Every structure is written in C-alpha cells, then in structure tokens.
Structure 1
Amino acid sequence: MSPQPSPPETHACPFHAPGTAEAIVHEEKAQLDFSRAMSYGDYLQLDAILNAQKPLSPDHNEMLFIIQHQTSELWMKLMLHELRAAVACVARDQLPAAFKMLARVSRIMEQLVHAWDVLATMTPPEYSAIRPYLAQSSGFQSYQYRCIEFALGNKNAAMLKPHAHRSDLLAQVQAAYEAPSLYDEALRLLARRGLAIPATHAERDWRQPYVESEAVEQAWLQVYRQPEQHWDLYQLGEELTDLEDAFRLWRFRHLTTVERVIGLKRGTGGTSGTAYLRKMLDVVLFPEIWKLRTDL
C-alpha cells in the first residue's frame, strides 16, 4: 500500500498567528493607559509651563516675545545650577567635575546666542505694537541674569536695587553678590597650588569689582609656559576662556538684536538701551587670561 501523501507543510507567519494581533493591540492599549502612572506631561509639569504664556496685547507676535524670554530664563536656571556647582568644585580642587560643568555652561550660552536669531524675526513695527503693554518690565530686571553676572565676577552694588521690591529675590542676588566669583575661586586654587597670587586677590572683599593684577598675570603665565607641569590649571584657564568667549557673543548678539528691533530707544526698564549694552561689551571678566596671550 503506497504511503499517503503528507499534507502540505505550512509556515505560520508570527505576525498573522491567531490571536497575536489582538494580543499586540491589547498590550499597546495597556501601555498607553497613563491613568495610574506618571506621564511625560506630569513629569515635566507641562500644564503649568504651557499655560504660562499670557499675552496682554492683541498682537500675534507677543507670543514669540514671551516664549523667547521664558525659555531664556529656563536656560539661565540650568546655567546657574551648573555655575554654582562648578564654583564649589573649584573650591574643593575637584577640577575634572568643574570642567564638565563649565563646558556645559558654554554650550548653554551658545543656545542663548542662537535664540536671538528667532527674536530678530520680530520687526520694529511688530515690537512697537506690543511695547506699550510691557510697562516697566525689562530683561534688565532678570534676577537670574544678575546672579550669573555676579557669579562670573561682574560685581556692582547698584544692580541690587532692581530687586529690592522682592525680598526673596533680593536675598538670592545678594548672596551671589557677596560670594566669591568663579574667577576668585580659580585664583584661590592657584594660590593653594603654590603660585604667587597676592593676598589682595586670594582673600579680599568679594563684593568689590575685580581689579586686574600684574602678579596674577605672572602666575597664569607660569601655568601657560609650563602646561605639562600645571596641566589641570592650564585646562582651567582654557575653560574660563571658552566661557568668556561665549558670554561675549551672547552680549553682542543681544545688542545687535535690540538695535535691530528698537534702534536707539531707551529700554522699557529705564536703561539707555543699546548704549548700556554697548558699555557691557567692554567688561572683561578674566583679564589676565586674555592679556597673557599677548605676553607669552
């Protein structure tokens, strides 16, 4: 008796196996149910953030103006978070961690530089339409920006006054004003490493504006002339250079955007506008590190 032919062999496709599609759909529905777990929006507090834009004018372009400044403040919050930690690391001689944080601050500043490109799409008539609704509000009153300036060493007691009406904010700005700046801690580190930093710069009234010193430049020159011997201090000098370089670009782009949008008008907060911003371009935060490049 001849063998019966075998039934044709079937190869079940796993994507079409009975019940598989239904199981996948059921599983996806289960995964998409966020009623009992923290969601993306919950974690990021998106309801609060995305409902924080309250235009006061009927003009379409005010949304750009608000979001530009709100996002800048968020970046500045991260910048302060990193700067404060970096200053503390330098004070503890923990330079590798400080380098990572300072590099991140420089990248944040690059983000802020490019953010001006978006605001620059606002034309003078568009800004004029919303300006009356701004009253006396001005970026000049940003307490976070002032804390950044103080942390980088640009101390000025007059800059406390715009925050006097808010005791909580004034306390934060005052603390930054009275604390050693990033550069102060860098010079104290050089002194601990045996470099000849004068006492006038290693221990001083941190509230006073920094005064350039020939002795400090000589100490940095020693680092830069013998980088192998002072490698981490040499790296610190270059991190500070990167940081100030990025900060200068941020300031310059701020100036050109303001001049493009409002011309030479006074600022809403009572400043001289572009005249004030031009003056800020002349501020040098780490003077000896820049001067040594000429003297090497």
Structure 2
Amino acid sequence: VEELWMKLITYTLVDVVDFLEQQNTHRVVTLMGRVHRLMRMMTAQLDLLETMSPKEYQEIRLQLGNGSGQESPGFKLLLRMPPDLWRAFKASYLDGRGLSVEDVYDIRYDHGDSYVVAEALIEFDELFQKFRANHLYLIHRSIGLGSKSLKGRPVELLQAGALHRFFPELWDIRCDMTDRWGSQYGTVRAPISHPEAAAE
C-alpha cells in the first residue's frame, strides 16, 4: 500500500514542478496539501506494523526475498523529486523575483507567494523525515538496529538517511535569523539554574 502512496506523491510532485514553473501558487499549495496528507497517512500506517511481534514480522520479511525498503521503486522515485522542486522554486519564486531566502523570511518578509510556497516545501521535507524516523523506530522494534538488512548492509545506514534534509537552505535560514536576533537581545542573563551568577 505504501508503494502506491509513494507513487501518487511522486506523480503529484511532477505536477507541482510544472505549476512552480508557471508560478501558479494556488495549484502548488493545493497539490502540496495533498502530498502532506499522504505523508501523514504513510507515517500513521507504520504504527500497524508495530503491533506485530518480532517473530511475526520475520514471516513477512522472509517473503521479501533480497528486496528491501531502500530498493522500493516508489521510494527511489520520490528521492529524485526534491532537486527538481528546488530548481523550479528557486527559478520562479526566488531568482525570478529578485529574492533570496533571507529576503523571503526576514529582510523583505511579507507572507507572500514565495514564503507560502517555501513553507509548503519545508513541510514536505519535515513530514518525509518524520516518516523516515518512524520507519527507523519500526526497524528498531521489529528486527533491531544492530542487525543487517536483507542486502547484508547494517541497518544503521538508515540513520544517515533520517538526518538528510531536502531543502537545507530553508532550514538554515532559521538558524541564521535566530543568531542575528540573539545579538540584539541585550544583556545575557544568567541561567535560572544558577541565579547566584547574576549577582556576581
């Protein structure tokens, strides 16, 4: 079932790329809303597998032969989409409008189309990483993180994927803005746990 959802997400994202290039913000946001719902549904469905004992899970795993989740056609297709999404967003909503990510989020912030689309992209990124994280916990619970995958590779390799971000620029701007704002906060106060430091 998840394979079908991944394919639907991918085909929807292909349409999103087209609408990004057309700067059709309403269609982009509507279709990304569909993607977000599908991602939440996929993540929720993982809970069902956690009701199985490790022994029961092995019965399903043995039917997969040498296949693994990393080789899922839908998963592979999905991983190819973010670079296309970013290129289309950057060309149409940043470069094409004379904007940088910093402009959209801070310097020229107006909650306009570029911001709304950027937030739709980062929500997809966040939901995909949540799916990966939940999948990792499912593996931890069912077969253990110290085991090998069906291809003989350590399952720990999945942890690297769970830390990957599709749109790092949209995550980094938050850190940059917070650091800049932090320099304007004024006097650095002593931590609450050590009030005596404030009296020194």
Structure 1 and Structure 2 fold alike (TM over 0.5):
yes
2:151 equivalent in structure 1: 269
| 8 Å Cα contact 2:36/2:124 also seen in 1 | yes
**SS of residue in 2 equivalent to 1:152:** helix
Is contact 1:140-1:269 (8 Å) kept?
Answer: no
Between the aligned partners of 1:286 and 1:91, the Cα distance in structure 2 is 18
Which amino acid in 2 is paired with 1:117? D
Larger relative contact order (Cα-Cα within 8 Å, sequence gap ≥ 6): 2
**Counterpart-to-counterpart distance in 2, 1:127 and 1:106:** 28
> Aligned to 2:58, what secondary structure does the other structure show?
helix
| Distance in 2 of aligned mates of 1:105 and 1:131 | 28
- Compute the displacement of 1:82 (Å): 1.1
Task: State the one-letter code of the partner of 1:135.
Answer: G
Q: Number of aligned residue pairs: give it.
A: 174
| Aligned counterpart for 1:93 among listed residues 11, 23, 33 | 23
Gaps of 5+ in 1: 1-70, 154-180, 196-218
Equivalences for residues 174-253 of structure 1 within 5 A: 181-189=84-92, 190-195=94-99, 219-225=100-106, 226-228=108-110, 231-253=112-134
1:241 and 1:97 map into 2 onto residues whose CA distance is: 17
Q: Which position in structure 1 is the counterpart of 2:39?
A: 109
Q: 2:183 matched to which residue of 1?
A: none
User: How far apart, in 1, do the equivalents of 2:12 and 2:59 lie?
Assistant: 37
Q: TM-score, normalised by structure 2?
A: 0.82
Tell me, in whole angstroms, the C-alpha distance in 1 between the residues paired with 2:109 and 2:160: 35
Question: For each residue in 1:54-110, what CA deviation from the matched residue of structure 2 results, as whole angstroms up to 9, or x when unmatched?
Answer: xxxxxxxxxxxxxxxxx1011112111211100111012112101111111111100
Aligned equivalents of 2:159 and 2:150: distance in 1?
A: 17
Q: Does the CA contact (< 8 Å) of 2:4 and 2:74 recur in 1? A: no
Report deviation, 1:128. 2.8
Output aligned runs, 1:15-54, within 5 Å.
Answer: none
Determine which structure has more spread, i.e. the larger CA radius of gyration: 1
Pick the structure with more helix per residue: 2
Q: CA RMSD in A?
A: 1.5
Counterpart code for 1:134 = L
After TM superposition, give the deviation of residue 129 of structure 1 in Å.
Answer: 3.5
In structure 2, the CA distance between the partners of 1:114 and 1:151, relative to structure 1 (3 Å rule), is: same
Distance 1:131 1:286 in 2: 33
Residue 169 of structure 1 corresponds to none
Match of 2:185 in 1: none
Write the distance in 2 (CA, Å) between the matches of 1:130 and 1:255. Answer: 17
Q: Deviations over 1:169-203 (max 9, x none)?
A: xxxxxxxxxxxx111111111111123xxxxxxxx
The alignment partner of 2:26 has SS state of helix
- CA displacement at 1:120 relative to structure 2: 1.0
**Counterparts of 2:157 and 2:77 in 1: how far apart (Å)?**
18
The corresponding residue for 1:118 is: 48
Structure 2 segments unaligned to the other structure (5+ residues): 178-200
